[in-house]
Structure 1
Amino acid sequence: MPVTKKRKAANAKVKEGVVYTLEQASALLKEVSTPKFDASVDIHIRLGIDPRKADQSIRGTVALPHGTGKTKRVLVLCNPDKESEATGAGADYAGLAEFVEKIEKGWADIDVVIATPSVMPKIAKLGKILGPRNLMPNPKSGTVTENVADAVKEVKGGKIAFRVDKQGIIHASIGRISFTKEKIRDNAHELISTVVRMKPSS
């Protein structure tokens, strides 16, 4: 695909070998973005670690101060006594058997899956389906909890989960190009600060 004049002009603004501050990068991002739609702003953090070592396998969550700009579809897998709590807090779907069956049949219209501890044995078989999509509920990411209302509200409010990949890189979406440069900077800073605190010293 040929490079457009607009893209060439944008590329020329990014100087090879220059290390930009978050402030500069956030401002530059607004200048070089060419899509006509409200594109996602993604960040990739190379940590220089070996995720094959247990003490260097980083995963966690962070509440972005300005959210992601994306409405996340949340499924809560729970027993009937928790369904109203989940939907009352904003969950798009809540239940168990019906949704386990739908997921097994290929249903994928969800962005986050939260589960109560009591149903984990019943959904363990979904690991091979949800795991590769980073959707399997996990205590470390706060998606296995009795307090489903708070978990749903946090996700809807901008909480994201992250984990290091096999190459030692963390990938995350931290907003939309329509965000102000200050909001992009703040969200990036919050994620980077959280990752730095978790990064092993060795």
Structure 2
Amino acid sequence: MPKHGKSYLEAAKLVDRTKLYDPKEAIELVEKTATKKFDETIEVSVRLGVDPRHADQQVRGVVTLPHGTGKTVRVLVFAKADKAKEAEEAGADYVGAEDLIAKIEGGFLDFDVAVATPDMMGAVGKLGRVLGPKGLMPNPKAGTVTFDVGKAVKEIKAGKIEYRVDKTSIVHAPIGKKSFGPEKLLDNFRTLMEAIIKAKPAAAKGQYIKSVVISSTMGPGIKINPAKLVETK
């Protein structure tokens, strides 16, 4: 069993582990349990009633959180000529073509999201073994393979995130920072949950949303009532 520090144990006392909290109540509580001196990230973990081993039960998509994530996202773009210039003007942190591919092959991974124009994917494809396991490979479904690189970069910088179910049937996604306050966190939470609910695969049977837990970076998990995910304020 992992040992928890004194501050974690004190925060855990505030949480009733047998209770399913309303979203608003859970978000107000998660702020109280985020006791560290740094601005902790607030994350949601959603267990889904899908079997991700089957292609027709994959849950994956993108959503723009209305208040962003509070994180500075480093965006890398594979593009040439005018498209490279467009990416730079939109605020991309790294822009290049074969030179950037070679840099990544040499071990460079100092970025959070990669975008590529379709004509670059033939060359970028050989980075699959490096970028794929880290979730950094450009993908059309995530909107990161596009000729509209300027728009893609701006949306990612503004708070567009990708969510996807992992092999344990759980979606993990950030909804902001403690400093956002409860109203912004609640807006982001509901936007994320609406997107996940809309992404329900037709092949998924039975209960789709099995459980929802919200937590801060260093705090305890707080269970949210799945029946009250997207209700109005």
Shift of 1:2: 5.6
Which whole-Å deviations, capped at 9, do the CAs of 1:93-123 have from their partners, x for residues lacking one?
Answer: 1111111011111111100100000010011
Superposition TM-score, scaled by structure 2 size? 0.84
SS at match of 1:13: coil
Pairwise CA RMSD: 1.1
Unaligned runs of 5+ in 2: 206-233
CA 1:81–1:2 in structure 2 vs 1: closer, same or farther (change >3 Å)?
closer
Q: What is aligned with 1:36?
A: 37
Superposition TM-score, scaled by structure 1 size? 0.96
SS at match of 1:178: helix
SS at match of 2:43: strand
Unaligned runs of 5+ in 1: none
1:3 equivalent among 2, 5, 26: 5
Q: Which amino acid aligns with 2:5?
A: V
Q: What is aligned with 2:160?
A: 159
Counterpart contact for 1:80–1:95, Cα < 8 Å: no
Shift of 1:172: 1.0
Q: What is aligned with 1:67?
A: 68
Q: Which amino acid aligns with 1:75?
A: L
Which whole-Å deviations, capped at 9, do the CAs of 1:126-158 have from their partners, x for residues lacking one?
Answer: 011001111100000000001001000100000
Q: Does 1:124 align with 2:108?
A: no
Q: Which amino acid aligns with 2:80?
A: N
Q: Which contiguous aligned blocks of 4+ residues in structure 1 show a shift greater than 3 angstroms?
A: none
SS at match of 1:60: strand
Q: Which amino acid aligns with 2:26?
A: A
SS at match of 2:174: strand
Shift of 1:189: 0.9
Q: Which amino acid aligns with 1:97?
A: E
Q: What is aligned with 1:24?
A: 25
SS at match of 1:165: coil
Shift of 1:3: 2.9
Q: What is aligned with 2:151?
A: 150
Q: What is aligned with 2:171?
A: 170
- Identity level (%): 48
What is the distance in 1 between the residues matched to 2:128 and 2:10?
45
SS at match of 2:46: strand
